[in-house]
Structure 1
């Protein structure tokens, strides 16, 4: 280890010596060029306007001490972006996670992460873009044919042939909602929320998510803005065929609660069931959903 360190110090000394030699040659060349060229500048002479004081001597000496001496003030080590001057990657990640997980404002990260508001927002944007680029191909997608076969097989064993998932909306409380937006985002509990519409399967896999609708909306309002059935209406949805009560069906469905419309793509629970058969179905549907 000592031998490696000595070799490193020797290499640094040689580099420094070469740099000083190069600087000296540059200075000599510039001085010689100025002396040989017939400069038209007359310099300071009596009767001419006084030159502006630029503190050339002191500023030049400071610049030499900062960069062009054996031990300069600003070295390569201190100017490393991952070192003392720049923000650490851990600071940027912590700031982004606090904003996402704890609903912290960008200006609140200045106290904990020592980051400006604009830098915090930029770090959050880069973090979310990185997550999407890293995981979208595997996780942020609709089920492919292999996934559908697995989901349909599992649902049929549970007594719901043709079922491809459960759909529902949930409200996320927005603690730091601006006062001017509180009326639009307040739900029936009188608190600002943001709605998440999601389609999930038995293994808690989220196959569809729409997040950002104001809390004053209901599930039908969210469904009207949702791209869930875009592929179906465009005729590009995968073909699903199953049989119930000796009847062939060619459209998969989602388990949903009573607010959703009477569409073939939704199977809702029976409201206020009284018959044993209806009661059993409602229990099974709610339990599975």
Structure 2
């Protein structure tokens, strides 16, 4: 009987010891879990500081040197002593410099998005010449956003937003004068111009496909 009692006591002590160790392990595991949660939260805060402010993404901020590229773009095309001539400008922008400047000023007056301004941190944004250069390269050449980024140092989301806003501005500002249906006087003028160039009866031509 005494031996049986001692056996029960020993089993009880062993059970209590196992329970104590299990409690210690659980406590350590909870502490580890709490530390992991804290580390993850701190890492998320750090990552949020590295994200672009206008778009949720895992991509880190990239310094595109947009301001220096904007200055170079002005020196290349948009100052009186520009590196490239008006002929080069016409080839690359598919319009004369004075027409580009006219469109740029009218669109900036219509939509302040294209006007250069400071962000919340006081940093100057993109020049209107940079945004319009990106848009024109896409429309005139079918360039991709990555190709435009190399030219004007503009991210993909900004490029697409500028493209949509530009098309909206052009439709609003110029539909009445340039995107309307031709009047009888317009048709007569186009027919005379085409006939003088050897294309009698042709009103318009796109890739040598004419319509009357």
TM-score by length of 1: 0.26
- The structure showing larger relative contact order (alpha-carbon pairs under 8 Å, at least 6 residues apart) is 2
Q: Higher helix fraction: Structure 1 or Structure 2?
A: 2
